[in-house]
Chain A
Amino acid sequence: MSEMPGDLQYTKEHEWLRREEDGSVTIGITDHAQSALGDLVYVELPEVGQDLDVDGEMAVVESVKAASDVYAPISGNVLAVNEALADVPETINTDPYGEGWIVRLQPAGEIDESSMMSPDDYQTLLDELDEVDD
């Protein structure tokens, strides 16, 4: 059973988004995603100031098993990246919703709410994936 904070939005790509009070959006990968990836050993981050397009490459997370692309769930400008992940990538494993955040974006325009999932909807997705696994 994956942990799942109730104050976040989720995507079918197993990313989470937190809407900050200043209008920016913090993004990371979910507990389910980190667990599936296994021990993380390297994270490639975008440049601060870079403009990202929705569904474009945002970061690469590499675990002991494989490299996985993390795509931008929204379009926006990179305000900050979690530099600490360069030295301690396993923070994503230990605290995916907190210290393991990856990028903070200033959204470009309105966010497409139809591609965002509530915690309940995301849980339903995970339950369906479990059934496929079995």
Chain B
Amino acid sequence: MGSRTALYDKHIAAGARIVDFGGWDMPVNYGSQKEEHHAVRQNAGIFDVSHMTIVDLQGERTQEFLRFLLANDVAKVSDPGKALYTCMLNESGGVIDDLIVYYFSPSDYRLVVNASTREKDLAWIRKHAADFCVAVNERGELAMVAVQGPKARELAAVVIDAEWRQQALAMQPFYGLHAGDLFVARTGYTGEDGWEILMPAARAGQIWDALLEAGVVPCGLGARDTLRLEAAMNLYGNDMDEDVSPLEAGLGWTIAWEPADRAFIGRGPLAEKKADTNKQRFVGLLLEGKGVLRGHQKIVVEGVGEGEITSGGYSPTIERSIALARVPAGDYENAKVDIRGKLLDVRLVKTPFVRNGQIRIDV
């Protein structure tokens, strides 16, 4: 038996199929992954993401610490509640994890990091935080749900106290807000509008029930993966890991090179790699015919070289298979994928594949 979130019994009651995810017993679906996927694209779905790790950082030098720890620059953010997406790198410029950091004040930040990387992340953060006298406080007592979809905010507003509701509804994308004992952020991992809501674990069941009552559909990790793939959002462990730099994973935009004198972990090796980024591209692929693209399948570009799919799957919205892949640099639009020894046609496409319910590529 793995770890269980505060909502485990709710998942069982909703008919979940439970799988192990990084040591957690999590719902993969509640019947049909495709229907859950469509619910998020067309209406609203709820995901239990309580397995993710929430870490609060406090201390006078917290901003200075995060400017050293993270590849993106938290100094870019000075609006209370504003979120920033960033990678945390090792000394070689490989990705230890990707995370969201919320700014409250220069001495007060919150990180939300992945579940599967919890232990190494905490060890890394604590090791470096000590040098800056920053207190690292894991908030294991909090539960977290993501309510996602075009109707998500409208339907989820019922769980926010009236005192905070208008302010929450008016909040811009990539901001978070303390609303009583909830923390509500307009963030997500689906390519749709919505909120991520953090709450005391003791209230999680009641909030879950209220959201289902409001018409929000329970969705499992399966739909979460197909939704993030359509949105071309990277998955740690698939699209990048400690041997892959952000530059090789389509995450160059998250690295803050300016100011040039900011020393952050991994900067030196990363700058060297930047000089020869022309070797590889991180791209979206569409399978022209039938079949399913999967991680680790080989991409063959005639006369150019070979690449590899990092994340692939079936897109319920496009009804074709799509993938993210590292491929050789060069000016080409078509390639082949090796699926069980057969070479099938794939086309390079500009990502995201789907955003806000709309297909964004030529099918």
**Which A residues have a C-beta under 8 Å from some C-beta of B?**
35-36, 38-39, 41-42, 44, 60, 62, 64-67, 86
* Nearest CB on B from A120, distance (A): 25
The answer to whether B337 has its CB under 8 Å from any CB of chain A is no
> B222 touching A60 by the CB < 8 A rule?
no
Interface residues of B (CB under 8 A from A): 17, 28-29, 32-34, 222, 226, 290-292, 294, 313-314, 316, 321, 340
Q: Roughly how many angstroms separate A44 CA and B28 CA in the complex, as a whole number? A: 24
Which single residue of chain B is at the shortest CB-CB distance from A90? B34
Q: Are A41 and B340 touching (Cβ within 8 A)?
A: no
Q: Which of A35, A39, A60, A66 has the most CB of B within 10 A?
A: A39
**Chain B interface SS verdict (over half):** mixed
Q: Which residues of B contact A67 (CB under 8 A)?
A: 292, 294
- Closest B residue to A64 by CB, please name it: B33
User: Within the assembled complex, what's the spacing in Å between the Cα atoms of A86 and B33?
Assistant: 20
Q: Which residues of A contact B17 (CB under 8 A)?
A: 35-36, 38
A86 and B290: CB pair below 8 A? yes
Measured CB to CB, the closest approach of chain A to B34, in angstroms, equals: 4
Beyond A42-B290, A64-B313, 5 additional pairs, beta carbon < 8 A: A36-B17, A38-B28, A41-B314, A42-B314, A62-B291
Given A64-B226, A65-B222: A42 and B292 within 8 A (CB)?
yes
- A60 partner residues in chain B, CB cutoff 8 A: 340
With A62-B314, A64-B313 as contacts: A38 and B33 at CB distance below 8 Å: yes
Instruction: Please state if A38 and B294 are interface contacts (CB–CB under 8 Å).
Output: no
Nearest chain A CB to B295 CB, angstrom units: 10
Contact between B290 and A39 (Cβ–Cβ < 8 Å)? no
Q: Are A38 and B291 in contact (CB under 8 A)?
A: no
Contact call B292/A39, Cβ cutoff below 8 A: no
B33's closest neighbor in chain A, by CB?
A64
B34-A64 in contact (CB<8A): yes
* In the bound complex, CA of A86 to CA of B291 (Å): 10
Q: Can you sample 7 A-B contacts with CB below 8 Å?
A: A39-B33, A39-B34, A41-B292, A62-B291, A62-B292, A64-B222, A64-B316
Query: B residues within 8 A CB of A62?
Result: 291-292, 314
Return A64 CB to nearest CB of chain B, in Å: 5
Across the A-B interface, the 4 shortest Cβ-Cβ residue pairs: A41-B314, A62-B292, A39-B34, A64-B33
Q: Which residues of B contact A66 (CB under 8 A)?
A: 294
Interfacial chain B residues near A64, Cβ < 8 Å: 33-34, 222, 226, 313-314, 316
Cα A81 to Cα B32 in complex, Å, equals 26
